[in-house]
C-alpha cells in the first residue's frame, strides 16, 4: 500500500538565508538551520519545505538557479546539507525542496551556451523566436518589472521566452533532453534523502505559448514527473504551485498519476473575501466548488507564504473589498492583484482574529502550511521592495539582530524588523517560550490537537447549514471518526442554530475559550471571532490505531 504520510503532515516553510546564521557572516546557513531543528520538532512540525538554496545570482531570491546540483556557498556546502538531512531524519522531519525548472537563471551555463551559437546543443533547451507575438498584459507575472515575455538577446540574435523576470529564461519542456535533465535533478536530490519537491510555476510548463507541441503532450509531462519521482522513491511527493481555477484542478491530479498536492490558492482567495466581509458564504461556496481529489491527492492550505497574497481569481470589485479591509494603502499592495503584508499587521494584531484565521488553516480539508515567523506573529517591513516586505529574518530573541546573526547590521542578508510593535525586542521566540499565553504556545497546542484529528486530512468534507451567515460549520468524516468545526468570522458573538446535524454527541476538543459542554448539538454558542472543534462521540467502533495516512 502506498505510504500517504503527507495526508496529515504539518508543513513549515523557510528560507535558509533568513532563518539562522551560525557563522556570523549575516547570512542564514544550513548549520544554523540544523541547530534549530529541535525548535521545529518541539513545535510539532513534521515536514519542512525549503525555498531554493542553489547557487544563484539572486535576481529572484534564489528562484533563478545557476547550478541544480549544489548548495549556494553563502548558505553552506553539500556536506552541510547532508548533515542537515541526517539531523532532520533523526527527528522524523521530512524535507521538501523547491524544484525550479520552468526556467533557469540567465547565468546558467546552459543559457550561456544556448545564446552563444544557434548550432549549440543547448540552443533548443530554451524557447526562441525571431518575431515573437505581442505580449498580452495578463501574461506578465511581474507587471511592475517587465512589459513583455520575450527579450531580445544580442548574442543569440533572437528573442527568448521568459514568463518571469527577463533574467529567468524559460526552459523548453517539449525538448526530451531538457526533460531528461529534470529527471536527473530529481533523482539526485531524492538520493540525498529529500521526501519530495515543491514544484515551482507548474501551469507555465504546460502553457502552449509557441504552439510547439500539442496540449496533450505538455500535460503528459506531469505524468512523466510523477514517474521520475515514484521510480526513485514511491513515498516522495510532488507539491505543485498552481494557482488555477477549480475546473482546472483535475488536470493537475489526473487520476492519481500526476501531482500529489496542490496549494489551495482558490480557497485561500475565497477565504480572504469571506474574512473581509465577515461572511462565511464565499468560503463555503469556494469549498463546494472544489472537485473531489483522487485518493492520493491532498490540498495544502495556507494563509500567507513568501509571495504576494494573490487575489487574481476574485473580481475587481471583490479585490477592492479585500484591499479595503486588509491593505488599504497602495504601498501594501503589489502587481495590481495582491497584498505584500504578513497577516498580523493586516488585522491590527488582533489575537482573537489571528487565532480564528489559523484555526481555519488547521481545520479546512487538507493539511496546514506555516511559514517561519507565523507562530510568533511576525510583522512585515513595507520599506523593503516588492515581496521582500515579508522575507525578513526570523526573530529568535531580544538580542542584537533578533538573535538571527552576530554580524553587523549592515551585513545582514535582509534587514531584521527592529522597531515598533513587530520589532524583535517585542516579538521573538525566547520571550514567547516563557509566556504560557503566547501565540507560540497557542500554536503548540493547536498543532498537538490537529495531529489527533487525522480526519481533517483524510476525511470527507460536509458543510452544515447554519442560521448565521458569518459562521462556517463543517465536518470531516472518515471511517475512523468525525471532527466538526465551527468558525465565527464576525466580531459579534452569536449562538448558531444548525438546520440539521447528523451527530448528536459532540465533545469539545479545542476552542478560543473553554465553553460549557453543549446542551444539544443543534444550538452552539460561539464568541466573536470564536472557533470550536468537536469530536463526534456517536461514531462508535472507530479505530484509533492505523488511522494516519489511511483513507
Residues annotated as catalytic are 200, 241
List the beta strands (DSSP E) in 103-170: 128-129, 150-153, 158-161
Q: Write out the three cell numbers for 61.
A: 531570491
Are the beta carbons of 237 and 261 closer than 8 angstroms? Answer: yes
Assign residue 212 a region: left if phi > 0, alpha if psi is -120 to 50, beta otherwise?
alpha
Question: Please, what is the minimum distance in Å from the beta carbon of residue 164 to ligand GLC?
Answer: 4
The rounded distance, in Å, linking the Cα atoms of 172 and 150 is 14
Over the window 160 to 199, marking each residue x when it contacts ligand GLC by CB under 6 A and - when it does not, the resulting string is ----x-----------------------------------
Count other Cβ atoms within 10 Å, centred on residue 386.
17
- Segment lying near Ca ion (by CB under 5 A), choices 16-24, 124-132, 188-196, 474-482: 16-24
- 49 or 189: CB nearest ligand GLC: 49
Which of 21, 355, 374, 455 touches Ca ion (CB under 5 A)?
A: 21
Which of 2, 3, 23, 116 touches Ca ion (CB under 5 A)?
A: 23
Count other Cβ atoms within 10 Å, centred on residue 367.
25
Rule CB under 6 A: is residue 200 a binding residue for ligand GLC?
Answer: yes
Rule CB under 5 A: is residue 17 a binding residue for Ca ion?
Answer: no
- 239 or 357: CB nearest ligand GLC: 239
Rule CB under 5 A: is residue 27 a binding residue for Ca ion?
Answer: yes
Which residues ranging from 33 to 72 are in contact with Ca ion (CB under 5 A)?
none
Question: Please, what is the minimum distance in Å from the beta carbon of residue 321 to ligand GLC?
Answer: 25
- 197 or 404: CB nearest Ca ion: 404
The rounded distance, in Å, linking the Cα atoms of 524 and 536 is 14
The rounded distance, in Å, linking the Cα atoms of 358 and 337 is 23
Which residues ranging from 237 to 276 are in contact with ligand GLC (CB under 6 A)?
241
Give the helix/strand (H/E) hosting 277. Answer: helix 265-277
Contacts of 101 (CB under 8 A, 6+ apart): 68, 171, 182, 185, 199, 200
- 308 or 512: CB nearest ligand GLC: 308
- For residue 200, the partner it binds in ligand GLC, Ca ion, none, with Cβ less than 5 to 8 A by kind, is ligand GLC
Helix (H, G, I), strand (E, B) or coil at 12: strand
Question: Please, what is the minimum distance in Å from the beta carbon of residue 100 to ligand GLC?
Answer: 6
Rule CB under 6 A: is residue 63 a binding residue for ligand GLC?
Answer: yes
- 20 or 367: CB nearest Ca ion: 20
Please give the backbone phi and psi of residue 475, each rounded to the nearest 5 degrees, phi first. Answer: -140, 155
Count of residues that bind ligand GLC according to CB under 6 A: 9
Which residues ranging from 354 to 413 are in contact with ligand GLC (CB under 6 A)?
none
The rounded distance, in Å, linking the Cα atoms of 99 and 402 is 31
Rule CB under 6 A: is residue 100 a binding residue for ligand GLC?
Answer: yes
Count other Cβ atoms within 10 Å, centred on residue 426.
15
Helix (H, G, I), strand (E, B) or coil at 238: strand
Chain residue whose CB lies nearest ligand GLC: 63
Interacting residue ranges for ligand GLC, rule: CB under 6 A: 60, 63, 100, 164, 200-201, 241, 306-307
Amino acid at each position: 500500500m502506498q505510504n500517504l504520510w503527507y495526508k496529515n503532515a504539518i508543513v513549515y516553510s523557510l528560507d535558509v538565508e533568513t532563518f539562522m546564521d551560525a557563522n556570523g557572516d549575516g547570512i542564514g546557513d544550513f548549520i544554523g538551520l540544523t541547530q534549530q531543528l529541535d525548535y521545529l520538532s518541539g513545535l510539532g512540525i513534521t515536514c519542512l519545505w525549503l525555498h531554493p538554496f542553489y547557487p544563484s545570482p539572486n535576481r529572484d531570491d534564489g528562484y533563478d538557479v545557476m547550478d541544480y546540483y549544489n548548495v549556494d556557498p553563502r548558505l553552506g556546502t553539500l556536506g552541510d546539507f547532508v548533515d542537515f538531512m541526517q539531523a532532520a531524519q533523526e527527528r522524523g522531519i521530512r524535507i521538501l525542496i523547491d524544484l525550479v525548472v520552468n526556467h533557469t537563471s540567465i547565468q546558467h551555463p546552459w543559457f550561456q551556451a544556448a545564446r552563444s551559437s544557434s548550432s549549440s546543443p543547448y540552443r533548443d533547451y530554451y524557447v526562441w523566436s525571431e518575431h515573437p507575438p505581442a505580449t498580452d498584459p495578463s501574461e506578465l507575472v511581474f507587471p511592475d518589472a517587465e512589459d513583455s515575455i520575450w527579450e531580445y538577446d544580442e548574442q543569440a540574435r533572437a528573442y527568448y521566452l521568459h514568463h518571469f523576470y527577463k533574467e529567468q529564461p524559460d526552459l523548453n519542456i517539449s525538448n526530451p533532453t531538457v526533460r531528461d535533465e529534470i529527471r536527473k535533478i530529481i533523482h539526485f536530490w531524492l538520493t540525498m534523502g529529500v521526501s519530495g519537491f515543491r514544484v515551482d510555476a507548474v501551469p507555465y510548463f504546460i502553457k502552449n505559448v509557441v504552439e510547439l507541441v500539442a496540449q496533450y503532450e505538455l500535460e503528459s509531462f506531469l505524468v512523466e514527473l510523477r514517474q521520475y519521482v515514484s521510480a526513485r522513491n514511491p513515498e516522495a511527493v510532488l507539491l505543485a504551485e498552481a494557482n488555477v481555477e477549480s475546473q482546472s484542478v483535475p488536470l493537475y491530479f489526473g487520476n492519481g498519476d500526476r501531482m500529489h498536492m496542490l496549494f489551495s490558492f482558490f480557497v485561500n482567495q475565497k477565504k480572504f473575501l469571506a474574512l473581509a466581509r465577515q461572511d462565511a458564504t464565499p468560503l463555503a461556496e469556494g469549498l463546494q466548488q472544489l472537485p473531489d481529489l483522487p485518493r492520493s491527492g491532498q490540498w495544502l492550505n495556507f494563509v500567507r507564504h513568501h509571495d504576494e497574497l494573490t487575489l487574481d481569481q476574485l473580481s475587481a470589485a471583490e479585490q477592492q473589498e479585500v484591499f479595503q479591509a486588509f491593505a488599504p494603502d497602495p504601498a501594501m499592495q503589489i502587481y495590481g492583484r495582491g497584498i505584500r503584508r504578513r497577516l498580523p499587521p493586516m488585522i491590527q494584531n488582533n489575537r482573537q482574529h489571528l487565532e480564528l484565521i489559523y484555526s481555519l488553516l488547521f481545520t479546512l480539508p487538507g493539511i496546514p502550511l506555516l511559514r517561519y515567523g507565523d507562530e510568533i506573529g511576525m510583522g512585515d517591513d513595507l520599506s523593503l521592495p516588492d515581496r521582500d516586505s515579508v522575507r525578513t529574518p526570523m526573530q529568535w530573541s531580544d538580542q542584537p539582530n533578533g538573535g538571527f546573526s552576530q554580524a553587523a547590521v549592515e551585513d545582514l542578508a535582509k534587514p531584521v524588523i527592529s522597531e515598533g510593535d513587530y520589532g524583535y525586542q517585542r516579538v521573538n521566540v525566547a520571550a514567547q517560550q516563557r509566556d504560557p499565553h503566547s501565540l507560540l504556545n497557542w500554536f503548540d497546542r493547536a498543532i498537538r490537537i490537529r495531529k489527533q484529528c487525522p480526519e481533517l486530512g483524510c476525511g470527507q468534507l460536509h458543510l452544515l447549514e447554519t442560521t448565521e451567515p458569518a459562521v462556517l460549520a463543517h465536518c470531516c468524516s472518515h471511517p475512523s471518526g468525525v471532527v466538526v468545526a465551527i468558525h465565527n468570522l464576525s466580531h459579534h458573538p452569536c449562538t448558531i442554530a444548525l438546520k440539521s446535524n447528523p451527530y448528536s454527541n459532540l465533545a469539545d476538543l479545542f476552542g478560543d475559550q473553554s465553553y460549557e459542554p453543549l446542551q444539544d448539538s443543534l444550538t452552539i454558542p460561539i464568541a466573536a471571532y470564536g472557533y470550536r472543534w468537536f469530536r463526534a462521540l456517536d461514531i462508535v467502533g472507530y479505530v484509533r490505531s492505523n488511522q494516519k495516512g489511511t483513507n
